[in-house]
Amino acid sequence: MTISVARFLDVADGLQPGQFTVGDHGSISSLSDLDPTYKRLLDDPVTAIVSVTGKDGRSNLTPVWFDYEGDLVLLNLATHRKKVEWLRQNPQLTFALMNPANAYHWVSIKCTVRREVSEDDPEEGPRVTAQLDRIWTKYTGNEPPYGLRDPSINERRVLFELTVDRIATFGRP
């Protein structure tokens, strides 16, 4: 697998010709090869903004908890949410992770849905629940289980496994 990486010219060292444009392109063979300056945004509890295409063809932006395993980005959603329907209709989405301490340090990840796994699947369902518990702990510091499940609607979860198509990076911490 090869992932294209566009490195934008940033303003960390002051004004420069061509700033905010792509300075160069490169490629990495996996997410683990991403420059540590940007990989840390994936590993730290940085809330991502995900963009999915809604029924009207317009982008829908939502803050979400971000996770990945190996080279797959993971998106765990409650099945009753509109994003689930929209992703099934248009399986392309984009994540933006911005350093909370510096808006000029970010990474953007364009993905495509590879497959989805239902929490109700007899074989793989426990993985969906375990992944939800893992990001619950990552983002809240609380012990499992995930504490925001809505029992009034028998909330069920689906895990979208996403392949990475392209990455863009900008800035330094």
Q: What is the mean pLDDT of each run of 10 residues along the chain (173 residues)?
A: 85 74 83 95 98 97 96 97 97 98 96 98 98 98 96 95 96 91
pTM of the predicted model as reported, rounded to 2 decimal places: 0.92
Nearest-10 Cα torsion for 16, 102, 71, 34:
40
pLDDT score for 11: 76
Among 27, 10, 28, residue whose Cα is nearest residue 19: 10
Q: Does domain 36-167 have CATH number 3.40.50.720?
A: no
pLDDT score for 32: 93
Answer positive or negative: Cα dihedral of 149, 152, 154, 160: negative
pLDDT score for 8: 80
Answer positive or negative: Cα dihedral of 126, 70, 144, 151: negative
pLDDT score for 91: 98
pLDDT score for 16: 73
Residues present in the chain in total: 173
pLDDT score for 17: 73
pLDDT score for 15: 76
pLDDT score for 100: 97
pLDDT score for 167: 97
Answer positive or negative: Cα dihedral of 30, 51, 9, 21: positive
